[in-house]
Amino acid sequence: MIKFKRVLLKLSGESLMGEQQFGIDTRMLKYYAQQIKGLVDEGVELAVVIGGGNIFRGLGSDSGIERVQGDYMGMLATCINAMALQSALEEIGVYTRMISAIEMRQIAEPYIRRRAIRHLEKGRVLIFSAGTGNPYFTTDSAAALRASEINADVILKGTRVSGIYDSDPEKNPNAKQYNQLSFEDVIKLNLKVMDMTAFTICRENKIPIIVFNINEDQNLKKIISGEKVGTVVI
């Protein structure tokens, strides 16, 4: 029995790096593909939004690259990651559709909401790339927007830590983890779950967010079956 039928999984680009300093670690790519396949085998309708930070991050004003141009470069980085994930998934027999917010018809479908939902209904994994197609918006915002549009039951935000803490657990060994928070709690405590645009979209559309450690095997399956893993914002 699954608790969530339609899910949007948000992965950071950095999650694909593994122990490397940049780029794509094929071991991590295969690991995430297997995790996703496990959900599909359970009957979950799954969409994925992946960042591009392992290839290109936003640049400061001293980089010589204009902010808007830099944001578009970041969008293209997400497309490289999406193509890599698509290849890893199809290699293990998972049917996918890569959808890009920027038109590139040779490698990805354009985003058409009704078509995207139909793909989900047919059991295909959607991989959303190029963010929202607009500068000044993060892939967190893209995840919140697409989750709202496809009527997702939940956003699962995979991270390197086991949930939301009151301080950085990688720097503070005494950091306290929260099990459940309201949207109001997150704002009041100034916790960095997502950027404010993404967070507001989730709050207005009543989409819960579960932040969890995706590098712990079986966590995804546990969440889908209703077990309490990570931190839920509701």
Determine phi and psi for 200, rounding to 5 degrees: -65, -40
Cα angle: 39, vertex 168, 175; to 5 degrees: 95
Mean pLDDT, the chain, rounded, equals 92
pLDDT tens for residues 64-91? 788 899 999 999 999 999 999 999 999 9
Of the given ranges (5-9, 66-70, 170-174, 202-206), which has the lowest mean pLDDT? 170-174
Per-residue pLDDT, 62: 64
Output 187 or 86, whichever has higher pLDDT: 86
6-233 fold: Carbamate kinase (3.40.1160)
Give the predicted TM-score (pTM) of the model.
Answer: 0.92
Q: What is the dihedral of CA 61, 200, 176, 3, to 10 degrees?
A: -130
Q: What distance in Å separates the CA atoms of residue 173 and residue 73, rounded to the nearest whole number?
A: 36
Per-residue pLDDT, 139: 94
Per-residue pLDDT, 98: 98
Residue 48 near residue 26 (C-beta atoms within 8 A): no
Q: Would you state the structure tokens that stand for residue 97, as one six-digit string?
A: 């559709």
Nearest to 37 by CA among 49, 28, 46: 46
Q: What distance in Å separates the CA atoms of residue 127 and residue 71, rounded to the nearest whole number?
A: 19
DSSP characters over 162-194? SSEESS-TTT-TTPPEESEE-HHHHHHHT--SS
